[in-house]
Amino acid sequence: MKKRICILYTGGTIGMVPTENGYAPKKGYFYDAIAAIPDLNSHDMPEWDMIEFDPLLDSSNIAVEQWNQIGRAIRDNYEAYDGFVVLHGTDTMAYTASALSFMLEGLSKPVILTGSQIPLCKLRSDARDNLITSTLIAGAGNVKEVCLYFGGKLIRGNRSTKSSADGLIAFDSPNYHFLAEAGIDIRYNVASLLTPPLNADFHLTEFKQISIGVLKVFPGIQFSLFESIMTESLKGIVLETFGAGNIPSYDDALLPIIRKAFENGTIVTVCSQCQSGTVTLGAYATSSALTKAGAVSGYNMTTEAAVAKLYYLFSLGLSRDEIKVKMEQDLRGELTK
Ligand code: ASN
């Protein structure tokens, strides 16, 4: 029997058309445009249906409500399909892929996010390959996790990051193997795939609106300027630090602020500005102070994954101590220690 794939079209360049204000999505246009691609109707392809979201968005406008909407669409169609392809703008695709990886618990079917850098309607568009290969990967069913496929690479969703604003190989997986590479054949890196938990019930955890911040440290940063955002209403903050988790110690201002944030109940998660490698708190004196002030290590998580994980853990309603512990644990293949 043919596999059945549900394509969720949320917007993004892939389905955009030129307008007087630049590219924008167009309601009701994309289904016919992809139905006219001969390969998508080949007998070697899975059967597919498409659900068009309303409104269609440039992914810069995607936020928690849209993540929940995508999650609900997958939950509501979970039994009827063998896999899902989520068409999404590239700008925030790595955030959405990370968010879905946490929201969809007990997932045992492929969920593949993809999009394109050049709209389907334009010459040299990368939309066809990204869509066709993602649909084939979803139909093959080898991966049972949330992934992002783009430019020949299949990446674990919560390990992905957008690395090029204009290249057709626009995403990277700096701290984990590609899950598959599509050349003449699609070659899976079987040893690197997640094994779905046995007998786990599939369910969706919708995210709540949580106040989260990201602060990138830079030479000369005046920490006192940021004190005003470190209030009790800030639930979590991702600190993008230098190298292995280092912060400047020149004005002694950051640590009291971090300590205060910690006392306020804010979870301070330390990630690195380096794309690859890991945070090792305590490797240098400039980082050990962070642990003393109550910060947790994000190890080699991307900022995208750390942000999504904070949303997830707070949405579960866990205590602050439980969140601190789980931030440092590998929940969905998002970090390695
Ligand atoms: N601005 C677009 C988006 O993220 C970029 C793209 O899809 N290539 O929706």
User: Can you tell me the distance from the alpha carbon of 331 to that of 325, in angstroms, rounded to the nearest whole number?
Assistant: 11
Task: State how far the Cα of 94 lies from the Cα of 162, in Å rounded to an integer.
Answer: 7
Decide: 182 and 154 in contact? Cβ < 8 Å.
Answer: yes
Q: Report the predicted TM-score, pTM, of the whole model to 2 decimal places.
A: 0.97
Which sign does the torsion angle of CA 289, 294, 300, 306 carry? negative
Report the chain's mean pLDDT, rounded to a whole number. 95
**Cα(20) to centroid of ligand 1, in Å?**
17
Residues with catalytic roles: 13, 90
Q: Which of 60, 93, 121, 131 to mutate to test the pocket of ligand 1 (most atoms within 8 A of CB)?
A: 60
Length of the chain: 337
Res 287 pLDDT > 90: no
**75-89 average pLDDT score:** 98
Q: Is 117 in the pocket of ligand 1 (CB under 6 A)?
A: yes
* Any ligand 1 atom below 6 A from CB of 15: no
Q: Write down the pLDDT at residue 251.
A: 66
Q: What is the pLDDT of residue 227?
A: 83
- Provide the percentage of residues in the chain whose pLDDT is more than 70: 100
Answer whether 47 contacts ligand 1 (Cβ < 6 A): no
Domain architecture of the chain: domains with CATH: 4-204 (3.40.50.1170), 212-327 (3.40.50.40)
Instruction: Please give the angle made by the CA atoms of 270, 192 and 174, to the nearest 5 degrees.
Output: 40
Centroid of ligand 1 to alpha carbon of 59 (angstroms): 6
The tokens for 144 are 């049972």
- Measuring CA to CA, how many Å separate 232 from each of 39, 212, 260, 292? 54, 11, 9, 20
